[in-house]
Amino acid sequence: MAPPLILQNFIGGAFVPTANPSTGYFDSPNPATGEVYARVPDSDAADIDAAVDAAAKAFPAWSSTTRAHRSAVMLKIAQLLEDRLEEFAVAESQDQGKPVSLARQVDIPRAIHNFRFFATYILHMEEKKTELDHVAINYTQKVPVGVAGLISPWNLPLYLATWKLAPAIAAGCTCVLKPSEFTSVTAWKLCSLLNEAGLPAGVINVVFGTGPKAGSALVSHPKVPLISFTGGTATGEIIYRNCAPLFKKMSLELGGKNANVVFADADFDKAIETSVLSSFRNQGEICLCGSRIFVEAPIYDRFVAELCKRADSLVVGDPAHPSTQLGALVSAPHMDKVMSYVELAKQEGGTIAAGGVRVTDVKGGEGGYFMRPTVITGLKASDRVVQEEIFGPVVTVTPFTTEEEVLEYFNGTKYGLAGSVWTENLRRAHRFAAKVQTGTIWVNCWMVRDLNMPFGGVKASGLGREGAPYSFDFFCDEKTICIAL
């Protein structure tokens, strides 16, 4: 076994030990083996203070740089990351548990794209201008807010960290990033590229640690005027309560319990193929996964049979192996939580139609956190397993008979992040999409993302929108300038 990586905070352009000498480290295991993969600083408010000070010091100069210069630096970061794509993909897999093939195809390329997209977008931004006849000309300016507090999740670690970092620095903000304590390694590795790319010291600072210590200190810091958080709804509520008295800007991308609706006239093969992906990709640990499948009655039995057949054929195993389709869940407590919902489904009268068991025979991964992709039938739409976010490779399948009935099912949770509908009836697709309570609805597809479109949820799935130009509305304040004629 290789010795664990020893991480350090990245503050003011340098890797530094924690501010408090008595602060220790905690272990971060490789989910596929259970062995310690990294030792993560248990940072506290003193480390956050140092990072915020460094970001505040860097802000005047960085916010005054030209968009062309900021773009060039970001494009260099993207190129350096692309040059080391394989190294980062392997690290992401060992830290999070996902297959290396997935990190290679999705996570790291998307992180690269995040930098390139926002780097080029800022070169073509326009401001608003109006004229009051013979009275005045008005125009607007987007002014970067200041030090941005960024908190990223563990499921798509570098992908979603850069989804916040890239627009923040493109807008002219400086920032302090607190990655998830479960998956810190690729954010730490990214720091090693920043100086080489020519990013000035203090523009990006990264502090590792837990939510209650480092995260809480960042959220409540008086010199951090805005917080962007992606994670669970319960944590989002705590952040909202802490930010509100300080009048901070907030972007909260929270939980989801997304519905996948399949009408009888759907392209069956395409709906099945994509539903397998939307149910089990990344071990079901994607906020956009469709964990509630509703199938019109005439094709319900056929759909369930085929879904179970394909779920049973998925390869669960060593994330490094090219044939692996599902890796390990992120941690032992999370695996226990997901498995507890399988037991709850039985208590609620459901049938485990596929999976529902741990996988303990992975060679070299006997201590890993593996489970079979799971399909559950026989539950009511109001049952807890159908209502609560599980965030694992577990889906429920429920029949419906009318459009009105499934619309009620679709909207019948506290969440509203995303969903899919499968039908060849264009009028129905438009009609249904207009009525669902969700931030994104895909028609005959899933996980198709145009970064020019708004991304975010409604209800308990969050506040605000990300993407261009929406991220710039968040990281900037808009100022009106009125010139008398």
Q: What is the 3-state secondary structure (H, E, C) of 191-228?
A: HHHHHHHCCCCCCEEECCCCHHHHHHHHHCCCCCCEEE
pLDDT tens digit sequence for 89-144: 999 999 999 999 999 999 999 999 999 999 999 999 999 999 999 999 999 999 99
CA distance 368 to 99: 13
- Look at the block and give the residue holding tokens 């394989």: 86
Around 31, how many Cα atoms within 13 Å sit in the side-chain half-sphere?
33
Cis previous bond, 469, omega within 30: yes
- Please enumerate in sequence order all residues whose Cβ is within 8 A of that of 209, keeping only pairs 6 or more positions apart, or say none: 40, 41, 42, 43, 44, 47, 178, 181, 215
Give the dihedral sign, CA 197/201/204/208.
positive
CA distance 68 to 170: 10
Count CB neighbours of 409 within 10 A.
18
CA distance 260 to 278: 9
CA distance 70 to 73: 5
Residue 306's pLDDT band (boundaries 50, 70, 90)?
Answer: very high
Percentage of residues of the chain with pLDDT beyond 70: 100
Dihedral angle at the C-alpha atoms of 37, 39, 43, 49, nearest 10 degrees? -80
| Residue 467 identity (one-letter amino acid) | G
CA 67, chain centre distance (Å): 27
For the residues of 434-469, what is the DSSP string, one character each?
HH--SSEEEES-SS---TTS-B--SGGGEES-BSTT
Furthest CA-CA distance within the chain: 80
Distances (CA, A) of 165 to 111, 168, 462: 10, 5, 19
CA distance 169 to 63: 9
Whole-structure pTM value: 0.97
Asked if 420 contacts 261 with a C-beta cutoff of 8 angstroms, the reply is yes
pLDDT tens digit sequence for 328-366: 999 999 999 999 999 999 999 999 999 999 999 999 999
pLDDT tens digit sequence for 406-454: 999 999 999 999 999 999 999 999 999 999 999 999 999 999 999 999 9
CA distance 42 to 59: 26
pLDDT tens digit sequence for 32-47: 999 999 999 999 999 9
Mean pLDDT, residues 295-303: 98
Asked if 186 contacts 195 with a C-beta cutoff of 8 angstroms, the reply is no
Residue 51's pLDDT band (boundaries 50, 70, 90)?
Answer: very high
CA distance 153 to 135: 50
Asked if 414 contacts 392 with a C-beta cutoff of 8 angstroms, the reply is no
For 20-58, letters b (16+ CB in 10 Å) and e give: eeebebeebbbbbbbeebbbbbbbbbebbbbbbbbbbeb
pLDDT tens digit sequence for 141-159: 999 999 999 999 999 999 9
pLDDT of residue 348: 98
For 196-208, letters b (16+ CB in 10 Å) and e give: ebebbbbbbbbbb
Length of the chain counted residue by residue: 485
Q: Which residues of 302-393 form beta strands (DSSP E)?
A: 351-354, 358-359, 370-371, 374-377
Check residue 20 and give left, alpha or beta (phi > 0: left; psi -120 to 50: alpha). beta
CA distance 120 to 116: 6
- Please check the confidence at residue 17 and state whether its pLDDT lies above 80: yes
pLDDT tens digit sequence for 222-268: 999 999 999 999 999 999 999 999 999 999 999 999 999 999 999 99
pLDDT of residue 21: 81
Residue 31's pLDDT band (boundaries 50, 70, 90)?
Answer: very high
To which H or E segment does residue 418 belong? Answer: strand 418-422
Catalytic site positions: 253, 287
- Please check the confidence at residue 294 and state whether its pLDDT lies above 80: yes
- Please check the confidence at residue 22 and state whether its pLDDT lies above 90: no
- Please check the confidence at residue 2 and state whether its pLDDT lies above 90: no
- Please check the confidence at residue 1 and state whether its pLDDT lies above 80: no
Give the dihedral sign, CA 180/183/184/186.
negative
Angle 175-334-235 from CA coordinates, rounded to 5°: 40
Asked if 32 contacts 319 with a C-beta cutoff of 8 angstroms, the reply is yes
Instruction: Compute the radius of gyration of the chain from its Cα atoms.
Output: 23
pLDDT of residue 101: 98
- Please check the confidence at residue 20 and state whether its pLDDT lies above 90: no
